[in-house]
Structure 1
Amino acid sequence: MANFVTPRSGGLRTALRHLGAGYLAAGHEPVLVVPGATESDEQTDQGRVITLPGPLVPRMGGYRVLLDRARLSATLQSLRPDRIEISDRATLRWLGRWARGRGIPSMMVSHESLDGLLRLFGPGHSRRVGDLLNARTAADHDQVVCTTGWAASEFARLGVRNLTQVPLGVDLDRFVPANHDPRMRTMWSAAEDVLLLHCGRLAPEKKPRRSLEALAGLRKSGVPAVLVVAGDGPLRIALQSEAAERGLPVRFLGHVGDRRKLAALLASVDVAIAPGPIETFGLAALETLASGTPVVVSAESALPEVIGDAGVAAPGEGPAYAEAVRTLLSRPEPLRRAAARAQAELFPWQRSVDGFLEAHQALHRAPAANQP
């Protein structure tokens, strides 16, 4: 089960697709239940996908949620699952107790950081609130899976014992350096320009303005940089207006639905910027590395774990990102592109599938009397 899955794109949607296809290939019968505008039930290359009607979340760019507990419970009863895997600890945590009451092992996949979210709301929001919710999540489920050590740290400091760390992966066949297209560069920049990319949802928690500040800093220092923004979201209009007012060369592409065009874009830019401070893994950044393009990421997020030496982690706001871009550009292009690809090759999807299946098989259910 998963909430907050967009109909077009997103890291969670990508992860669910590859994990489902991996489960299917391993001989299991995966069933994914997600919210949508209307009800549907179909067989896909990732297994069976059931869509139940769910309302839109206001100002969230198309996200929907499963709020009808009775209907979801009835759907699960009819499926009679051997295991349940949940990808939303905000609104679907109740499923852990639902499963326990029926003798079904459950696993919560933590795709977000409560520490990070509370930090965004300011220092007045107590870490104790996050600790309480995380402790309840761990108690309600047989297994908690985090994709990085950064994401796992908020559970580890509580002494959570049913915690497993499994990284996500990247499609190493689709995203390759060979997708580099010189003609694509001429669409947005001159031959002597440095072409930057911001790829992701334009939402406050993603901090897209840091990419604009990086561009402004580079141009102020004499670097002829141009920024391409691939993605949509509630901040798009404001960012377009800001770029125009400041005279910054920013090309807003909106959502890039053509996967081949996206792969060519990732392989054709010089440096990508992933400034989100609460990313728990960063699939878009990993796809960029697989395409042979180095990435500047937020030092506050989990991405430094993922990019390794193939990119640079920047603290704070835009000025540090501009310096990080200059650091990457100072490296010979063949070396920085080879390093990016080599780092991505550490994260094949099969490794992720194997890790998730192992986590499912290792599930251990404590006696009901010991549960809170």
Structure 2
Amino acid sequence: MKIVQLANFYTPTSGGLRTTVDELGRGYLDAGHERVLVVPGDAYATEDTPAGRRVTLSSPQFFWSKTYHVLTSRQTCRLLDEEQPDVLEVSDKLSVAWLAPWARRRGVPLVLFSHERIDAILRTRVPDWFPLVALANASNSRLSRRADEIVVTSNFAAAEFARVGATNVSRIPLGVDLDVFRPRLGKSAPGPVKLVTLSRLSGEKNADLAVEALRILCADGVDAELTMIGDGPLRSRIEALADGLPVTFAGHIASRETIASMVGAADIAVFPSPAETFGLALLESLACGTPIVVPSEGAAPELVGDVGSGAVTDGSPMGLARGVRALLTVPEVQRRKAARVTAQRYPWSATIERLLALYSDLTRHEESVNWQAAQRR
């Protein structure tokens, strides 16, 4: 089976989406399939990677961003005609409108991999009066009609499609590399409580709330410090907010091994975002044996497992601080074990197996439809 993936928002700093697309690619290759990834960029390039072949198409910049480019229909469809995929896996919702007609004409199943929930991701970017839910419903209804199948990774992500009565939705959780992200040996050294936040520093992630939670903890006499891993448009504002507090800004870190080491050295990971549709960084923290503090909104609570693996809060700075305090009452060995055991339920192999089974069913169905159409001619 030849699987072609398309991803508009795939860049060296795009975090979870890049990790997901590449891990899936490696899994497809290991299972004996061919994988081609198509992404936009400054100039045309083709490269063989450990996750399969990657083709970069020269593409215009996205209208509101200097970081992202966007695939265009003409050159992308021309490339797809050359590649002749068996399955088209699309990792952004913008391209489905013009990819769906191409896929239907060619008899290729189109699978939308939904990485974000429209109403959650836009909530901080529109005024309160804006009819966001109605807009999301209209968009999701169109997407469900255009795609052969929609893959979501959590109940929270599935809910926006359930609202519009979509029936072509499969819930398949993501996975984690349990070899790279693993607990460090030994107990933590005496000293301050080490907190870590791994997040893009943008509005929907609410990373500033982790700083405010630290402020509350310090004011209450808790000896704690925070390391923020990640970068984004709000970094300077959050740095100003953290002035006078024990906060270290590590910026974007490309090495997954370095991230694993830093997260594994922390006592607790704080994730304030209410918009997570899965939370790959949360799962990576759990795999490192580092319990998580999360808000009750979004998909994050779905990853909290046994006692000590995490704390679900109201998402406010006070709530996050209370979540940290609650986890500190659990013995370190117990909470680190609970976190790791929770992550072990999510190997990438399980994700790959379920996706390939879905793709096999879709291709068989398409072959049957094509055969019946040929018989009627």
Taking structure 2 as the reference length, what is the TM-score of the superposition?
0.90
Residue 226 of structure 1 aligns to a residue whose secondary structure is strand
SS in 2 for 1:308: coil
Q: Is the 8 A contact 1:271 1:325 kept in 2?
A: yes
1:151 and 2:157 matched: yes
Alignment correspondent of 2:57: 52
| Farther off after superposition, 46-55 or 339-348 | 46-55
Per-residue CA distance 1:291-317 (angstroms, 9 max, x = gap): 000011121110111223421122242
Is 1:276 matched up with 2:273? yes
Shift, 1:61, TM fit = 7.3
How many residue pairs get aligned? The number is 358
Q: Give distance in 1, aligned partners of 2:148 and 2:196.
A: 40
What are the Cα deviations for residues 107-142 of structure 1, in whole angstroms up to 9, with x where unaligned? Answer: 001101012134333442321211111010010011
Matched to 1:86, the amino acid is V
Contact 1:203–1:235 (8 Å) recurs in 2: yes
Query: In the alignment, residue 257 of structure 1 is paired with which amino acid?
Result: A
Is the contact made by 2:96 and 2:146 (CA closer than 8 Å) also made in structure 1? Answer: no
- Of 273, 292, 295, which residue of structure 2 is paired with 1:295? 292
Q: Say which SS state the counterpart of residue 49 (structure 1) adopts.
A: strand
Distance in 2 of aligned mates of 1:279 and 1:367? 37
Deviation at 1:91, TM superposition (A): 3.8
- Verify: 1:70 aligned to 2:52, yes or no: no
| Contact 1:60–1:234, Cα closer than 8 Å, also in 2 | no
Q: Matches of 2:358 and 2:130 in 1, distance apart?
A: 33
Contact 1:229–1:252 (CA under 8 A) maintained in structure 2? yes
How much has 1:225 moved relative to structure 2?
1.0
Q: Which residue of 2 aligns with 1:323?
A: 322
Q: Matched residue of 1:177: which SS?
A: coil
Distance 1:11 1:328 in 2: 26
Q: Which residue of 107, 113, 124 corresponds with 1:109?
A: 113
- For 1:348, give the aligned amino acid: P
Mapping 1:344-359, distance limit 5 Å: 344-359=343-358
Against the structure 1 CA distance between its residues 134 and 39, is the aligned structure 2 distance closer, same or farther, given a 3 Å change threshold?
Answer: same
Give % identity: 43
Residue 35 of structure 1 pairs with residue 37 of structure 2: no
Match of 1:168 in 2: 174
> What are structure 2's unaligned runs of at least 5 residues?
1-5, 371-377
Give the equivalent residue in structure 2 for 1:15: 20
Distance 1:349 1:342, change over 3 A: same
> Is residue 94 of structure 1 aligned with residue 98 of structure 2?
yes
Moved over 3 A (4+): 55-61, 179-182, 364-368
- Aligned residue number for residue 304 of structure 2: 307
Q: Deviations over 1:159-206 (max 9, x none)?
A: 211110100000001111036796xx8xxxxx4211110111111111
Cα RMSD (Å): 2.0
Asked if structure 1 preserves the Cα contact closer than 8 Å seen for 2:96 and 2:147, the reply is: no
Q: For residues 283 and 60 of structure 1, do their structure 2 counterparts lie closer, same or farther at Cα, with a shift above 3 Å needed?
A: farther
SS state at 2:34 partner: coil
Q: Which 5+ residue runs of structure 1 have no aligned equivalent?
A: 186-190
> Deviation at 1:360?
1.3
Name the CA distance, whole Å, in 1 between partners of 2:128 and 2:14. Answer: 32
Deviation at 1:33? 0.4
- Cα distance, 1:43 vs. partner? 1.5
Matching of residues 230-249 of structure 1 within 5 Å: 230-244=229-243, 247-249=244-246
Shift of 1:60: 5.2
Q: Distance in 1 between matches of 2:14 and 2:286?
A: 19
Q: Describe the SS at the equivalent of 1:101.
A: helix
**SS of structure 2 residue aligned to 1:288:** helix
Q: Normalising to structure 1: TM-score of the pair?
A: 0.91
Question: What residue in structure 1 maps to residue 374 of structure 2?
Answer: none
Give the CA deviation at 1:8: 3.7
Q: How many angstroms does 1:104 deviate by?
A: 1.0
